[in-house]
Each structure stands twice: as structure tokens, then as C-alpha cells.
């Protein structure tokens, strides 16, 4: 005898999921994915997975075309991804801008100029050189000044 699942049965099964103990949700996960869920997975994700499987059983899974599209989005291509270009220096800091940093109780001010950065009466080509001058250690200049 062919038994078709009614909408009421589906709704009842879906609403019962929230009352299941975590151990039962984990067993459902194992039955579906043939492995244990990731360590620390939330109860909510276990419930979503169980609800999705109820709906797959009742209505069917994803169409093959949708599966292919999703798999295409997750597989790595042989072509390396291009790195995003960093903004040009002029877009980051405008001449005349001032960078202020407090370090060990003293305040340091750097002024951005067309030819680099002015600090303590000298022109530096990079913020990292200034950060090293201030701290005596190698620092990322933008990080030191909070950029």
C-alpha cells in the first residue's frame, strides 16, 4: 500500500524536532551524513538539519541543476584567485592628515605629506619606519597608528 505523507504529518514531525533530546538529533545527523556532527555544533543547526531531512523525505531534495551550481561554488578552481588591489596611498591618507598615537605615556603626531610622512622634523617614506623609530622594534606602521 502506497502511503502519502500528509501536510499535517509533516507539520507534526517538524514541530516534534524541537522537543527531541540532543542525543537523538545527533543520531539523526549520523544517519544522514554517515559521520558525527562537528564538535561544538549548536542545537539549532542540528534541528535545522533534521527539519531539512524531513522535508527532503516528503518533497524530495534539490534538483540536480541546483546541486551542480552549489557544488560549483564550493570547489576550488585551478586558477588562483586574484588578490584585491590595495587602495592607492592617496585614497588612504590625504596630505595634511594627522595621525596621533600614544605610546608609553607620550603622544606622537605624524603629518601626512605629498612626499611621505613628517615626524619629529624629518620626512619618512613609510609609517613602519616611524613606528620603528618610536618603539625601537619592527612594527607594521599602519597597525601601530590604527589604520
Q: pLDDT band at 20, cuts 50/70/90?
A: very high
| DSSP 8-state class, residue 2 | -
For the four alpha carbons of 41, 45, 50 and 56, in that order, the dihedral sign comes to negative
Region 116-138: mean pLDDT is 87
The pLDDT value given to residue 1: 44
Between 111 and 146, name the one with better pLDDT.
111
Query: What residues form DSSP beta bridges with 124?
Result: 117
Task: Indicate the Cα dihedral angle 26, 28, 30, 34, nearest 10°.
Answer: -160
The pLDDT value given to residue 90: 43
The pLDDT value given to residue 21: 94
Return the closest-CA partner of residue 13 out of 55, 70, 62: 55
Q: Considering only 9-13, 82-86, 88-92, 116-120, which range has the smallest mean pLDDT?
A: 88-92
8 A C-beta contact, residue 145 and residue 133: no
The pLDDT value given to residue 121: 86
Query: What residues form DSSP beta bridges with 109?
Result: 100
pLDDT digits (tens, 9 = 90+) for 56-101: 888 888 888 888 888 887 666 656 666 666 655 445 678 888 888 8
Amino acid at each position: 500500500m502506497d502511503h502519502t505523507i500528509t501536510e499535517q504529518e509533516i507539520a507534526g514531525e517538524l514541530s516534534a524536532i524541537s522537543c527531541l533530546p540532543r542525543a537523538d538529533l545527533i543520531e539523526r545527523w549520523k544517519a544522514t551524513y554517515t559521520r558525527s556532527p562537528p564538535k561544538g555544533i549548536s542545537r539549532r543547526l542540528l534541528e535545522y538539519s533534521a527539519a531539512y531531512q524531513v522535508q527532503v523525505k516528503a518533497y524530495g531534495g534539490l534538483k540536480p541543476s541546483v546541486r551542480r551550481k552549489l557544488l560549483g561554488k564550493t570547489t576550488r578552481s585551478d586558477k588562483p584567485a586574484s588578490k584585491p588591489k590595495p587602495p592607492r596611498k592617496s585614497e588612504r591618507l590625504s596630505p595634511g592628515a594627522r595621525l596621533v598615537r600614544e605610546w608609553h605615556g607620550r603622544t606622537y603626531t605624524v603629518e601626512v605629506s605629498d612626499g611621505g610622512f613628517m615626524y619629529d622634523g624629518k620626512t619618512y617614506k613609510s609609517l613602519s619606519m616611524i613606528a620603528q623609530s618610536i618603539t625601537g622594534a619592527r612594527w607594521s606602521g599602519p597597525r601601530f597608528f590604527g589604520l
